[in-house]
């Protein structure tokens, strides 16, 4: 009984039904569509003490602004690695975290965040900061050490999300710290998108999962699998509502469907970048099996690999990479964002990649399997 109650409460919390004043529900638009832009791997905050770090952060601001103005999405998903915390030596991580939202916030678009492996990493002191005597010079004033945050400590996931929610006076953030039993994974929650017509009838469920990394291993735990199963049973017992999944680090299933690195991407895969091997999670503890068993789950979207932007089928699921959006992080492939557009009736999913310069490519209509 208590267990049931906990599940109910977690579901209610995840849907923003209790606690803080609920923001306006997400809903399919009048034209029956709901469009999501995925901002992956922004990597804000690199080398703030040089010219190139701040310059590339401005580049990331520009990419997001260009995509938002061209696409006018209804929602934005920040797909992890918003900041390169191993390069942020000050309590500024929450400032960079907040900056990542500014183009979206200024356009009044709601968003959600999930964690990548860099967001809560501890600071790695650049070796050139150490004098020959082994003392760190000016970048970190000795008088303020170590409690000012000028230390090796990263900013915990919980602190980043809590700061995000606190600063969100406009009520645009839909992020949540997730149920306590899944900590240290934090970004585990569900958002529903309501039907264009029926007032309270959900027409799409978006599940966000924390795929780890940084302060703990890069995995989706068995506890998260059980959480997904209970949430989806509770919210969508007959599988009538289509479901989409978002996390940061590709599961090992991605390695099975991946076109050989550096080769041309050919059907049934669709994409333009295939410049590296998939860097998967450390283990697979049942999440893919749970997802593949649910016909209502249509696709998974991940970031993490900056040199990949394809979608490939896996059973009846579609496994997609986003597109490296930030000017931070490795790789100098042109920046862009994956856009995912759903139609409510009949349900369909289209996706494409919108580049910083305004061009689009890699259009795909997800094959949702007539047999499902
Ligand atoms: C950290 O934030 C403070 C206050 O906004 C700012 O003056 C400083 O330049 C920032 N430092 C870095 C490294 O970003
Ligand atoms: C935009 O950038 C892409 C590379 O991503 C390039 O192929 C294309 O030609 C560019 N288009 C324009 C209009 O500059």
Q: Which atom number of ligand 2 is nearest to the Cα of residue 334?
A: 5
User: Is residue 301 scored above 80 in pLDDT?
Assistant: yes
Contact partners, residue 166, CB within 8 Å, separation at least 6: none
Contact partners, residue 5, CB within 8 Å, separation at least 6: none
Give 139's pLDDT tier (boundaries 50, 70, 90). low
Which residue among 95, 149, 155, 167 is best mutated to probe the pocket of ligand 1, counting the most ligand atoms within 8 A of its Cβ?
A: 95
For residues 278 and 369, the model is more confident at 278
Please state whether the peptide bond connecting residue 146 to the residue before it is cis, i.e. omega within 30 degrees of 0.
yes
Atom 4, ligand 2: residue with shortest CA distance: 334
Contact present, 81 and 365 (Cβ < 8 Å): no
Please give the Cα distance from 364 to 339 (Å, whole number).
11
- Give the residue among 45, 74, 50, 73 at the shortest CA–CA distance from 61: 45
Cα(175) to ligand 1 centroid in Å equals: 25
Average pLDDT, the chain: 89
Which strand (E) or helix (H) includes residue 320? strand 317-321
Atom 4, ligand 1: residue with shortest CA distance: 92
For the segment 86-127, what is each residue's pLDDT rounded down to a tens digit?
988 767 899 999 999 999 999 999 999 999 999 999 888 777
pTM of the model: 0.90
List the structure tokens of 71.
């696409």
| Nearest ligand to residue 54 Cα | 1
List the structure tokens of 46.
């690199």
Residues 227-259 as b or e (16 or more Cβ within 10 Å = b): bbebbbeebbeeeebbbbbbbbbbbebbeebbe
For the segment 320-362, what is each residue's pLDDT rounded down to a tens digit?
999 999 999 999 999 999 999 999 999 999 999 999 999 999 9
Q: Which atom number of ligand 2 is nearest to the Cα of residue 272?
A: 5
Q: Which atom number of ligand 2 is nearest to the Cα of residue 357?
A: 1
* Residue 87 beta carbon below 6 angstroms from any ligand 1 atom: no
Which strand (E) or helix (H) includes residue 257? helix 253-257
Which residue among 359, 360, 361, 362 is best mutated to probe the pocket of ligand 2, counting the most ligand atoms within 8 A of its Cβ?
A: 359
SS3 74: coil
How is domain 2-120+155-365 classified at the CATH fold level?
A: Purple Acid Phosphatase; chain A, domain 2 (3.60.21)
Instruction: Say how many C-beta atoms besides its own lie within 10 A of residue 347's C-beta.
Output: 14
* Residue 109 beta carbon below 6 angstroms from any ligand 1 atom: no
Contact present, 254 and 322 (Cβ < 8 Å): no
| Nearest ligand to residue 359 Cα | 2
- Give the residue among 322, 249, 242, 323 at the shortest CA–CA distance from 281: 249
Contact partners, residue 328, CB within 8 Å, separation at least 6: 41, 42, 43, 44, 45, 46, 56, 57, 60, 84
For ligand 2, residues with CB inside 6 Å are 334, 355, 357, 359
For the segment 26-70, what is each residue's pLDDT rounded down to a tens digit?
999 999 999 999 999 999 999 988 899 999 999 999 999 999 999
pLDDT for the residue 50: 87
| Nearest ligand to residue 99 Cα | 1
Contact partners, residue 338, CB within 8 Å, separation at least 6: 37, 38, 40, 301, 309, 320, 321, 322, 323, 351, 352, 353
Atom 6, ligand 1: residue with shortest CA distance: 92
Residues 91-102 as b or e (16 or more Cβ within 10 Å = b): ebbbebbbbbbe
φ/ψ of 341, rounded to 5, equals -120, 125
User: Is residue 220 scored above 80 in pLDDT?
Assistant: yes
Task: Round the CA-based radius of gyration of the chain to a whole number and report it.
Answer: 20
* DSSP-assigned letter for residue 7: H
| Nearest ligand to residue 63 Cα | 2
Cα(59) to ligand 1 centroid in Å equals: 18
User: Is residue 25 scored above 90 in pLDDT?
Assistant: yes
């Amino acid at each position: 009984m208590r267990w049931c109650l906990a599940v109910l409460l977690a579901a209610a919390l995840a849907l923003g039904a209790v606690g803080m004043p609920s923001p306006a529900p997400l809903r399919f638009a009048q034209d029956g569509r709901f469009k999501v832009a995925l901002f992956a791997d922004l990597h804000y905050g690199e080398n703030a003490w040089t010219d190139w770090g701040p310059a590339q952060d401005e580049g990331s601001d520009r990419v997001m602004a260009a995509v938002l103005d061209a696409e006018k999405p209804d929602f934005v998903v920040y797909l992890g690695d918003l900041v390169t915390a191993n390069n942020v030596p000050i309590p500024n991580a929450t400032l960079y975290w907040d900056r990542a939202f500014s183009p979206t916030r200024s356009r009044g678009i709601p968003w959600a965040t999930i964690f990548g492996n860099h967001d809560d990493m501890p600071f790695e002191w650049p070796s050139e900061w150490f004098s020959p005597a082994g003392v760190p010079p000016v970048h970190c004033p000795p008088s303020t050490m170590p409690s000012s945050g000028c230390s090796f400590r990263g900013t915990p996931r919980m602190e980043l999300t809590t700061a995000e929610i606190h600063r969100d006076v406009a009520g645009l953030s839909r992020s949540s710290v997730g149920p306590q039993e899944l900590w240290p994974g934090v970004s585990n929650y569900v958002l529903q998108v309501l039907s264009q017509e029926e007032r309270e009838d959900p027409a799409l469920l978006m599940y966000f999962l924390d795929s780890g990394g940084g302060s703990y291993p890069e995995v989706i735990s068995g506890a998260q699998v059980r959480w997904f199963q209970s949430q989806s049973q509770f919210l969508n017992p007959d599988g009538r509502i289509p479901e989409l999944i978002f996390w940061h680090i590709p599961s090992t299933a991605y390695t099975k469907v991946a076109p050989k690195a550096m080769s041309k991407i050919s059907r049934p895969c669709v994409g333009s970048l295939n410049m590296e091997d998939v860097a998967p999670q450390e283990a697979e503890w049942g999440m893919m099996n749970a997802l593949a068993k649910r016909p209502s789950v249509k696709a998974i979207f991940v970031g993490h690999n900056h040199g990949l932007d394809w979608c490939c089928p896996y059973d009846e699921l579609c496994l997609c990479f986003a597109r490296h959006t930030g000017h931070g992080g490795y790789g100098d492939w042109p920046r862009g964002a994956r856009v995912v557009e759903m139609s409510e009736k009949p349900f369909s999913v289209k996706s494409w990649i919108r580049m910083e310069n305004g061009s689009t490519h890699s259009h795909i209509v997800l094959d949702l399997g007539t047999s499902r």
